[in-house]
Amino acid sequence: MAILFIAQRVTAFVLAAAVAVHLGTILYAVRGGLMAAEILARTHGNMQFALFYAVFVIAVAIHAPIGLRNIFREWTQWGGRPLDAVLAAFSLLLVFLGMRAVFAVYGV
């Protein structure tokens, strides 16, 4: 479907930028102490980064299930509404786990 194809391409653009920022953030965030408590002390309450990672999580939750849908449809006999339902649930799971992590790292 055109809408899924376009959604996956657009989120790919978002992820290409987001992954680059994410890798930079990893290098930056570990400076000045590698203990979890030290890192969290620097990240907690940073709303800009919280927003950035929220966008990242949503892009992943859109991008990954569409790619998995294509793989399942091409390489297995599985398709149709049951597959779409499972992958929609998977998308929600990614949102839940991702947002939970964003809140844990950047929340107040």
Partner 1 sequence: MREVLGVDVWRGTEQGAFQAFAIPRRQHQTVLDVVTEIQREHDATLSYRFACRVGMCGSCAMVVNGRPRWTCRTRVNEVVSDDERLRLEPLRNFAVVKDLAVEMTQFFDKWEAAHGYFEPGPQPEKDFAVVPPDTKKRQFANAGIECIGCGVCYSACDVVSWDRGYLGPAALNRAWTLVNDIRDRGQRERLDAVSDNNGCQACHTHMSCTRFCPKGIEPTYAIAGLKRAMFRWSAG
**Chosen residue from 6, 17, 101, 104 binding partner 1 by CB under 8 A:** 6
CB of 7 to partner 1, least distance (A): 10
Q: Where does 1-108 have alpha helices with state H?
A: 2-29, 36-43, 47-75, 80-106
Is position 81 an interface residue for partner 1 (rule: CB under 8 A)? no
Is position 2 an interface residue for partner 1 (rule: CB under 8 A)? yes
The dihedrals phi and psi of 34, each to the nearest 5 degrees, come to: -100, -5
Within 46-75, the residues that bind partner 1 by CB under 8 A are: 70, 73-75
